[in-house]
Structure 1
Amino acid sequence: MSRTILAQPPLDSGLKPIHGTGYSWLQERMLFVRDPLRVVTERRARFGDITFMNTLGRHKVVMPLTASGVEEIAMNREKAFASEPAWSFFIGPFFHRGLMLMDFEEHRYHRRIMQQAFAVGHLERYLAAMEPVVAEGVRRFPAGEGVHLLSEFKALTLDLALRTFLGLAVPAGEARRINRAFEDCLAAGLAIVRHNVPGTKWAKGLAGRKILEEFFFRRLAAKRAVETDDLFSVLCHAMSPEGEVFTDEDVVNHMIFVLMAAHDTSTIALTTMAYYLALHPEWQAKARAQSQAFGRELDYRRMGELAVLDAVMRESMRLNAPVPRLPREALIDTHIGDYFIPKGTFVSASTTVTHFDPTLWSDPEAFDPGRFAAERGEDKAHKFAWMPFGGGMHKCIGLHFGQLEVKAIMHHLLLRYEWSVPEDYKWKLDYTTLPVPKDKLPVRLRKLGLID
């Protein structure tokens, strides 16, 4: 493996240079897409606390290989890093002006208004609206061999997001069109040709963005006119203590971003849980027994009773975080620990680094929900030992909603079905955009007959 330096630190700074492999961005991408954990493990052994990689031509990305380095990026105490320029490079034209693509005072302003949409009272109402949709959606899952759970979860979470967030049922054809637009926007983020050339991923992403904007703007006036309990209406009427409100453009930008985040990340979490519960039927049985004791109807104030389901969810999101990287750009010459970061460099806080660190987790590649029990508390080894929702000012604003949604769907799945995979089955993840199984997780799904 070759070796090169990111940049020489200024004289008398006392800082050290960051080393990398010297591979081209295409080589780096191929290695990371194939096996990110292997990349992290090998480079930690070779370079120690920090390294850098090339990505998409001119950009170099610094990746801390310790939890303390990850924390420096996420907490950003010196305001040396910005989220907007880094995320904008990848997904800006498709998800611009989403909360994750804002920084500092502007981010705080938008977050304060948006936070109202995720207050406890609204979460209770979202769950109440969600429950019958979840129950009916899960009931329609096809039993038998070769059921692709990724596809079933994705269809259900999109329908759920549209109904819960928009307060209406979207016809199946239009729902598929919206889902395709989201997928095109996501795929465009890592496109090699980054211009509006017909037929390219980039062009399809731009077309997808127009479809999404038209979809929301067409419904905006009705949501402004009447207050209802769905997120779209809440954002239209939300007001800060100082009387600040969102513009029409703000509402549409936030809805596009939140809807993408709500159904893609939840789909990945659910698919990962289903995979590990298929591999570990003893945990599937434990979770099912607790769901049976809980009963069919979900009560927001009792959700804590589903402790096994919560532990399975946390462990699954540790092993396969739906958003595995948090990119930022250095606004000034700065540092991470004792290492020099030149202005304009991208940095990335990676869940692969912290979630598989053997100094933080026992046997980190093993599925072991018991590690989250109070008596073990491995997730408390470091503030960023477990970080599927990010951290700092940009910590996911919808994390509580996301967990409610995932638990609601898995609770109903456990009550209605039992699922399994062949003994020798091991999934292969596609890391091109967000980590999903290449084969869409085919399982044998058997009805239990426990509920109608």
Structure 2
Amino acid sequence: MTATETATSIPLVSGGDANGDHLEEMRRDPIGLMVRVREECGDVGRFRIGGRDVVMVTGPEQNEWFFRAPDALLDQAEAYPFMTPIFGEGVVFDAPPERRREMLHNQALRDSYMRGHASTIYGEVNDMVSAWDPAVGGQIDLLDWFAELTIYTSSACLIGKKFRNDLDRRFAELYHDLERGTDAYAYVDPYADIESFRRRDAARIGLVALVQGIMDERVARGDSAADDDRDLLDVLMSIPNDDGTPRFTADEVTGMFISMMFAGHHTTSGTAAWTLIELLRHPEAMAAVVDEVDRVMADGEAPDYQALRELPQLESAIKEALRLHPPLIILLRVAQERAEVGGYTIDPGQMVAASLSVSNRLPQAFPDADSFDHNRYIDPNHEDTENPWSWVPFGAGRHRCVGAPFAMMQLKTIFLTLLADWRFEAAQELDTYRDDMSKMVIQLQQPCLVTVSSRNQSGGAVAPIDTDVSQAEASETGSTGTSTRHIKVDEALCQGHGVCESEAPEVFKLNTKTHLVEVLNTRPPDEQRTKVDQAVKYCPTRAISVVED
């Protein structure tokens, strides 16, 4: 093999129809297909969808190439034309790169806003469970229940409470039809005259009408809420171009809303369901998580932002569910320039894919990779950060899911609230909970039933965890000597969440135009060591590092 071999020389996986096309297998068992590509072809392999070759890369080295590649080399937009009917034209994937970056930097995902979301999510969960009778319990379908809950939590946090309070049954029904328009046949023709696509298109028209109606009402009222009260729609409607005209059209605003909810709701609801199922399958992990929940929630109050950071058992269980059951199993790009990967040449126009489901189970990165083991992420183990290009349920690099920190916070708040008062048991055989492969976003196959009962805790109160940074840890050293450390930022990983600015504003500042962090002092004094270490520890994308001289 030489570096001059082209994509046509890349090994082609076996199987397919009479024409060697793997579309039907992709629709029926996409994970099985991608596993075969890895097993038969290695780090770089090829399969065919609708007559078009797709080069699939796996392994940490090839994944790093894929995830670090800029849009000028590997572009998302050209790879996802089948999402345009869902999001709308000129929004997300078919918008220019600079427009996409601007639209995706939602202020609600900034650290300063995130700190207020926990109480909102806590309230939404309690509103949902208020329908449960503690005396008799009941039975729920996990996917349906979490899907409804995350519609409310995501809309309240990402769009705003004003918008969330306008949601009704029409919205839920239309959104459900829109989601179900992700059939893999869209790879071939996203406008094909099939039932799921017809329902998808009708649903989007209906959603646009609902959102447009809310926007029109706000314009008619002349809403001018204060900064801390206005929601995302207010923000987007207020952004002007240089000439004073609105920056975003009504259709773009609607499309951005749909895209944000699509990611924040559909994938989170599935992960919540799978996390609970895996905990039911592993009682020892459930016991450890519940013990942690009881200590944090002993006072019965909404968890604060710092408490959510200090939940190693729960966070690890969620991470392991994400590793084994990533809702997005494949990410696509189209090569814009000639490039080399794994000894092969990729030509412009070539479709390139990274398989999250395969990478997350590589045995060289994760021992006993097919088994649930939440201890993978509990000190001294850090299998996620030690394998940043293999543990990729949120993607990685410059296009890592910008909402990943919100998703983790949302999931942790949901489980803190639920497990504090309620007990869950499987209502069907544990081996009957499995993935539904019929859509491009993989979730639990329905029915996925569990029984719910009140824990009825009547014993003595458990002392809450002190999640504040200790006085000794937080105290300044008083040293003003020259630091022996310097700060480095990998701009290809930075997504502008602003956690570092919140933790150490003397050292970091977020550039609101580039959405990248600026280091005000690459060698901060030792007296700021604790703040800098917190910024490094909690950076969602691991873009910041401290290097000893």
Distance (whole Å) between structure 2 residues aligned to residue 166 and residue 82 of structure 1: 31
1:225-374 residue pairs with structure 2 within 5 A? 225-227=223-225, 228-237=229-238, 246-249=247-250, 250-295=252-297, 296=300, 297-374=302-379
Matched, 1:404 2:428: no
Q: Deviations over 1:268-318 (max 9, x none)?
A: 110110110111122112111111111141211221122211111111111
- 2:69 alignment partner, one of 51, 58, 76: 76
Q: Is the 8 A contact 1:182 1:260 kept in 2?
A: no
Query: Which residue does the alignment assign to 2:504?
Result: none
* RMSD (CA atoms): 3.1
Q: Mind listing any 5+ residue stretches in structure 1 that lack a counterpart?
A: 1-8
Q: Distance in 1 between matches of 2:304 and 2:160?
A: 22
Tell me if the contact between 2:3 and 2:343 (Cα under 8 Å) persists in the aligned partners: no
Answer yes or no: is 1:182 the counterpart of 2:178: yes
* In structure 1, C-alpha distance between the alignment counterparts of 2:279 and 2:3, rounded to whole Å: 55
Partner residue of 1:140 out of 131, 135, 155: 131
**In the alignment, residue 195 of structure 1 is paired with which amino acid?**
Y
- Counterpart residue number, 1:4: none
Aligned-partner residue type, residue 116 of structure 2 = R
Q: Give CA deviations for 1:349-385 in whole Å, capped at 9, x if unaligned.
A: 1112210000100111111111012312112333222
State the distance in 1 between where 2:11 and 2:79 align.
Answer: 21
Q: Which residue of 2 aligns with 1:117?
A: 108
Task: Provide the rounded CA distance (Å) in 1 between the counterparts of 2:40 and 2:31.
Answer: 14
Select which of 427, 433, 442 maps to 1:435. Answer: 442
Maintained 8 Å contact 2:140/2:449: yes
**Structure whose alpha-carbon radius of gyration is higher:** 2
Partner Cα distance (1:356, 1:81) in 2: 24
| 1:61 and 2:54 aligned | yes
**TM-score, structure 2 length as denominator?**
0.72
Q: Is the 8 A contact 1:82 1:103 kept in 2?
A: no
Q: Given the two structures, how large is their TM-score scaled by the length of structure 1?
A: 0.86
- 1:170-196 alpha-carbon deviations (Å, 9 max, x no partner): 354223333234324434873866436
Structure-2 change in CA distance of 1:110 and 1:363 (3 Å) = same
* Change beyond 3 A, Cα 1:238–1:78: closer
Which amino acid letter does the alignment assign opposite residue 59 of structure 2? T
Q: Is residue 33–residue 431 contact of structure 1 (8 Å, CA) maintained in 2?
A: yes
1:74-113 → structure 2 map (5 Å cutoff): 74-77=67-70, 79-88=72-81, 90-96=82-88, 97-102=90-95, 104-111=97-104
2:46 paired residue number: 52
Counterpart AA for 1:356: R
Change in Cα spacing, 1:405 to 1:229, as seen in structure 2 (3 Å) is farther
Contact preservation (8 Å) 1:288, 1:414: yes
In 2 relative to 1, CA 58–423 (structure 1 residues): closer, same or farther, beyond 3 Å? Answer: closer
Contact 1:83 1:103 in 2 (8 A): no
Which has the higher relative contact order, 1 or 2, with Cα contacts under 8 A spaced 6 or more apart? 1
8 Å Cα contact 1:91-1:185 kept in structure 2:
no
1:23 maps to which of 16, 23, 32: 16
Matched length: 437
1:396–1:102 CA distance, 2 compared to 1 (3 A): farther
How many Å apart are 1:67 and its aligned residue?
2.3
2:208 corresponding residue in structure 1: 213
**Residue type of the partner of 2:409?**
L
8 Å Cα contact 2:424/2:450 also seen in 1:
yes
1:67 touches 1:384 (CA, 8 Å); kept in 2?
A: yes
* Residue 203 (1) aligns with residue 210 (2): no
Question: Is the helix fraction higher in 1 or 2?
Answer: 1
Residue from 120, 126, 133 that aligns with 2:117:
126
